[in-house]
Structure 1
Amino acid sequence: MTDIVDCFGVDVDLDLLRSWRAEGVSDHGILGRLHDAGVSLPGSLSAWGMAFGVPLDEARAVVASAPVWAHRKEADDAFQDAFADVFGRIADGELDELPELLGLAADLLPGDARTGAGLSAVDARRYAEQDEWDTALAILSEFDGPPPYWDLLVEAAVHLDLDPSWYRWRLGESLHGVLRAELRLVPGARQDPVPGSGVFRPQWDVGGGDLRVAAVWVESKPDLEPGGTAIVRLRPLVPEGWRHLRPGDVIALREGGTVTGRATII
């Protein structure tokens, strides 16, 4: 049976990692492949420890030495020390560490950052310390943050038995970028709604017949009904192919060679 695990928002096949090593791929080569697949630094740390059965400290030493992470190592050292400590204790089942986990996420936010309701990281930390973890997580989900921030929120949601889909989506956005657009489905072009939670990954004509893949997250509703209109978030598979787009540009949603919708970039 394939040994696939969720490593902070990305599914990793641990058997594949082991097979690469058996084939003679270097440790840095394996970590480079994980990086190219969108696995974050903490995700790589987790995958390495589970795939090769090494202690967290040993896994961290290997991952931190990889050239692919060299550009972030100095800036992230303090965070990764704290993250590794918290992750290790949570992995041992110490759920009372959730306040510290959420607090670590709050520490990654600018002091003047505010939600639409005027709440700050201080408010989120206070709720976490009062064991109101769901509320703390809900507040933190309204901010923007770097990949390690969303790594932490994915982990918190999983341990709280909450759906981590949104946090995994935002982790992907922080790694690969996102475009927002107003999507109008062509009336009668499709019979089923467009799923809203990021599982729909169609092709888009981004200009001149250039077809590119991007996943779709529908804002403010669970799905988009046939013929309907909604604001969507598009997460490109290959961001470089979308960088020419500007607000007001229109791209076409194509399914099976048919245009089933048009999206105006916001």
Structure 2
Amino acid sequence: MDVPKLLEVATLLVPEEIATENDITVQDIWEYLREDEWEVALGLLEELGDVHSLPGSFWETLTAAAEQMRLVRSAAWCHWRCYETRNGIIRVALTLRSASESRRQAPFDGAGVLRPMWNIGNRTSSGEPALNIARLWVEFRPFLEPGGHSSVRLAPLIPSQWQHLEPGQVITMHEDQSIAGTAVILEIQRPATAATE
């Protein structure tokens, strides 16, 4: 399927009554599609998807469109949202230790590339802390530097191991045995039911 058709299919999956913070609606997106403004339409569809919970098929369609347009970060974001549709959303406020306090000396890409370990309170059979892996997406920033602070989204490797978390809990990030950062859980959204697919 070509890009315009993919964007049309995605647009049809958005309820007409929803709007972005800037009052962009499905009708506006149709106008951009008529004008062959595909990249603008894709960005606005992403915004609408962040305002209202939409099915995984919406995000899969946007992923395919972004990949065909070679928009790497948009494709990664839409793929990330596909994961969240299936597994739920975990948002945290992360503060990294400074370069003098940790192994990390350089910023890392915020687009879901880093897969650190997290101490979320789980234990091994011998009672030692068990670290759990989750990819990390930095919100509203392309990267995060040592000592930096940002809201981030987490995509656990094994989501079922994260079910006990609640807003307000503190977890720690590890890139080795030492603590690389501390995070406070901001939001937990359980996955949507299969009926919404």
Interval of TM-score (by shorter of Structure 1 and Structure 2): 0.7 to 0.9
After superposing the two structures, state which structure 1 stretch, 173-182 or 228-237, moved more.
173-182
Equivalent position of 1:154 in the other structure:
63
The alignment's TM-score, normalised by the length of structure 2, stands at 0.81
Q: Is the 8 A contact 1:177 1:236 kept in 2?
A: no
Distance in 2 of aligned mates of 1:139 and 1:153? 11
Q: Distance in 2 between matches of 1:162 and 1:106?
A: 18
Identity of aligned residues (%): 40
Residue 214 of structure 1: how far off its partner (Å): 0.7
Asked if 1:124 corresponds to 2:29, the answer is yes
Pick the aligned partner of 1:260 from 169, 175, 180: 180
Cα shift at 1:100: 2.8
* Whole-angstrom CA distance in 2 between matches of 1:140 and 1:261: 33
Residue pair 1:108, 1:149 contacting (<8 A) in 2 also: yes
- 1:198 paired residue among 112, 118, 127: 112
User: Which among 133, 152, 163 is matched to residue 232 of structure 1?
Assistant: 152
Higher RCO (CA 8 Å, separation ≥ 6 residues)? 2
Moved runs in structure 1, 4+ residues, more than 4 A?
none
Q: Which amino acid counterpart does residue 230 of structure 1 have in structure 2? A: S
- Does the alignment pair 1:115 with 2:20? yes
Number of residue pairs matched by the alignment: 171
1:97-108 alignment to 2 at 5 Å? 98-108=3-13
> What code does the residue aligned with 2:30 have?
R
Q: Pick the aligned partner of 2:97 from 186, 192, 199.
A: 186
RMSD of aligned Cα (Å): 1.4
Q: Deviations over 1:76-111 (max 9, x none)?
A: xxxxxxxxxxx3xx3xxxxxxx33321210111122
1:12 alignment counterpart: none
| TM-score, L = length of structure 1 | 0.61
For residue 181 of structure 1, report the CA deviation from its aligned partner.
Answer: 0.7
Q: Which has the larger radius of gyration?
A: 1
| Aligned position for 2:195 | none
Letter in 2 for 1:202: P
